[in-house]
Structures are given as C-alpha cells and as structure tokens.
C-alpha cells in the first residue's frame, strides 16, 4: 500500500472530497502507471489512469479518473466499511511533489 499520514502528507489546499479524489488518483497513477490488472477473461487494463480532457460540448476541461482496485473476498462475509477490503496496488511511497501546496 502507499501509506499516507493524514496529518502531514495531504496538502492543506485539499479541502473537498473531489480534490482529494484527484490527488489520490494522481498518486496511484504516478506510482503504478505501467501496472495492468486482469478485469475479465482475456481483458486487462491499467490499474490507475488519470487525464485531463477538453470537452467541447460544454467548453470545459474534465479530469477523468479510472481505478481498478482489488477487493478482498472477506467483504462477502463482513459488515465492515467497503473501503477496508481494498487491496494495495504497490508499496511505493507518495512522491514528494504531491505533498506540498
């Protein structure tokens, strides 16, 4: 897993869930950009993807995020929160560039 210290690693400018999601996706992509996972019979995809795309229909740039995270089979027989069963993609530390404002 990529460990995070909530008190010191998350930049203070991250003040919404949306910003936090983009920050997390950026780290997962930076640390695992070449990692592919099997998502179906004969189908594999990158585990973490993120990109900025211009959408002409509404004249805006959108950050599109895609994550494929393994979930432990324990989720089938437990009442714990869903995110507690997500398995790590790697053990790579958060890059320094993601820690500052």
Residue 63 bridge partners (DSSP): 52
Number of compact structural domains in the chain: 1
Classified as helix, coil or strand, 31 is: helix
Residue 7 falls inside a structural domain: no
pLDDT given at position 53: 97
59 occurs within a structural domain: yes
- Tell me which residue range forms the domain holding 42: 17-89
- Integer Cα distance of 89 and 66 in angstroms: 14
Comparing CA positions, the residue from 53, 51, 83 lying closest to residue 69 is 83
Q: What is the pLDDT of residue 52?
A: 97
> Residue 29: pLDDT above 90?
yes
What do you get for the CA distance between the two ends of the chain, in Å?
23
Q: pTM of this prediction?
A: 0.89
- The pLDDT, as a whole number, for residue 99 is 93
Q: What is the mean pLDDT of residues 4-28?
A: 95
For residue 32, give the nearest of 45, 56, 48 by alpha carbon. Answer: 48
Residue 22, pLDDT > 80, answer yes
């Amino acid at each position: 897993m990529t460990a995070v210290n909530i008190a010191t690693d998350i930049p203070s400018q991250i003040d919404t869930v949306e910003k936090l999601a983009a920050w997390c996706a950026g780290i997962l992509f930076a640390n695992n950009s070449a990692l592919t996972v099997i998502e179906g019979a004969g189908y594999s995809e990158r585990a973490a993807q993120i990109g900025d795309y211009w959408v002409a229909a509404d004249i805006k740039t959108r950050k599109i995020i895609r994550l494929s995270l393994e979930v432990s089979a324990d989720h089938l027989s437990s009442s714990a929160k869903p995110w507690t069963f997500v398995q790590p993609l790697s053990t790579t530390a958060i890059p320094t560039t993601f820690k500052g404002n």
